[in-house]
Chain A
Amino acid sequence: MSQVLKLEIDSQLSNTRLVAMAVRGVCAMTTLSPVEINRLELCLVEIVNNAIEHAYDNEAGHPVEVCVSMNKTTMNISVSDWGQSIPDDVMQNKTEMVVDPEQPEVWLCSGRGLHIVNKLMDQVTYESNQDKNSFIMKKELRH
């Protein structure tokens, strides 16, 4: 049987830490190691910030929903918004980012957050149903 926690914040970057802290608390109930919990928090923060900054263009007053569901083997975290969806080419770009100390012009390229999430989570899916966009991250739990 799975357990579900649903949270909602207003679309302001200062609110991201609220869901981060709440999900850290849930993670502490699992078999995830401290390093894995830090990494999961990082992934959650990246995707919630992404929703605020890109789906809502940094405009306050819109909902961002975070839903955590877990059973003995898996934790699923979905982040949903009702704004602009992530373009397909951005979602599908899995190219490893290369950091070249000799090329400062490319150090600041955007999209680093999605690369981090793709690297750290066991599965990432993105779906848009009617007006609702959901970014779903899956993490396997040891048992």
Chain B
Amino acid sequence: MAFENHEEGHFTVVRIDESRLDASVAEVFKTYVFDLIEEGRSNIVVDLAEVRFMDSTGLSVLVAGLKKLSGNGSFSLACAQPAVRDLFDLTSMDKLFKLHGSVAEAVKGS
């Protein structure tokens, strides 16, 4: 399985065990995240530590998750690698997401 999740306090941490979050896996990841939200998980942290490359389709899935939870929980990101941080900067998506340095920091909500 390319994705797994576990609970840390009030948060559901979703780990992506893929080096690329791109158009070829985006739909599967979207279904995975949406299923979690529909099961009632409302505070999600996506751990991007393994993701070395993300395209605009991968980014759109994260936006879709954020939008689905909008106002009813939290959707944040942790451990974004340089190319991923660059994509957020280029697209100004850093205005929408909290990019945490670590999962520990994200679940503290700092």
Please list the residues of chain A having a beta carbon within 8 angstroms of any beta carbon in chain B: 12-14, 16-17, 20, 35, 38-39, 41-42, 45-46, 49, 53, 97-101, 104, 107-108, 112-113, 115-116, 119-120
Contact = CB atoms under 8 A, between A and B. Distances in A.
Contacts of A112: 56, 59-60, 91
Interface string B50-85: 000101110110011011001000000000001100
Interface of B: 20, 22-24, 53, 55-57, 59-60, 63-64, 66-67, 70, 82-83, 86-87, 90-93, 95-96
A14 to B, nearest CB: 4
A13 B59 CA distance: 16
B95 A45 contact: no
Nearest to A37: B83
Given A41-B53, A42-B55, A116-B56, A107 B63 contact: yes
A46 B67 contact: no
Nearest to B68: A104
A120 B55 CA distance: 14
A112 B57 CA distance: 9
A35 B86 CA distance: 9
B61 to A, nearest CB: 10
A108 B93 CA distance: 11
Contacts of A119: 90
Contact of A38 (B23, B86, B93, B96): B86
Instruction: List 10 tightest A-B contacts by C-beta distance, closest first.
Output: A13-B24, A38-B83, A99-B92, A112-B56, A113-B56, A14-B24, A13-B23, A49-B23, A45-B55, A99-B95
Given A108-B64, A112-B60, A99 B90 contact: no
Given A41-B53, A45-B55, A116 B90 contact: yes
Contact of B90 (A13, A16, A120): A120
A53 B23 contact: yes
Contacts of B66: 107
A112 B62 CA distance: 14
Given A16-B24, A46-B55, 12 more contacts: A17-B20, A17-B22, A35-B82, A45-B23, A45-B55, A46-B56, A49-B55, A99-B92, A99-B93, A104-B67, A108-B67, A112-B60
